[in-house]
Homo-oligomer: A and B are copies of this chain.
């Protein structure tokens, strides 16, 4: 099977490429960082020429950058996505397109648990762009121009590597840094609840979405992925299991009003029934998520 990964240089893209490569798939890897910028005219057409059977579209400008640079966010997250869909339509074949969306399509006011039928009311331009791309994916699929499956990823945790500047970065830092003997800053209260899955689970979602019988989806091509609803207190308890009190002591509490305000608008819990019924699987506890980090990154 020929597989194109757009956004292949990102953390999830690299892990996906590794897994598919081990499984013997024929890979075409593309990323703006390595010269394949979807936002540049002609790039999508060129990449689609090879008529890949499956296209993973993971390329995106992240939330913070899309908020800071309005035009770049729309240019990449919306327009480049549409260019890709148009290139596929022009090539007149019908590949499976797996699109990585995000729980950022949801914003306040939010119920305690978000079901599959709740209207997206994004609180960021990033969430808006993802919600618009989801609608496009469903319409291009309905029209028969491609065979799309959109998956709304939870916050991926524990992200390996060095800390980044995303507002959500602390969710990974407070596990990763202490386990590596370093200090981490916690800017929100321990009662903060959020929705998580491991990088390994995210790759699992993508692979499952690539093989899914899309006739079960009807016109609703986009699915909220399962995950673990956990508070920061749950996270810290899971850290203690693996790293002991010594690791937990490396978390420094430094309340940050700005981060608290941003995070308070994020969803904390979902009822991801459709995805579960379709066979998508995540971890079942935050302990398990930390276990995956230890196995995949520290072993």
Q: Taking beta carbons and an 8 Å cutoff, which residues of A are in contact with B?
A: 70, 107-109, 116-123, 125, 128, 131-132, 135-136, 138-139, 142-143, 218-220
Contact = CB atoms under 8 A, between A and B. Distances in A.
B118 A128 contact: no
Contacts of A120: 119, 135
Given A116-B119, A132-B136, 17 more contacts: A107-B219, A109-B218, A117-B119, A118-B119, A119-B119, A120-B135, A121-B219, A121-B220, A122-B135, A122-B139, A122-B219, A123-B219, A125-B139, A125-B143, A128-B135, A128-B136, A128-B139
A149 to B, nearest CB: 15
Contacts of A125: 139, 143
B70 A143 contact: yes
A135 B131 contact: yes
B119 A219 contact: no
Contacts of A70: 143
Contacts of A119: 116-120
Contacts of A139: 122, 125, 128
Nearest to A221: B121
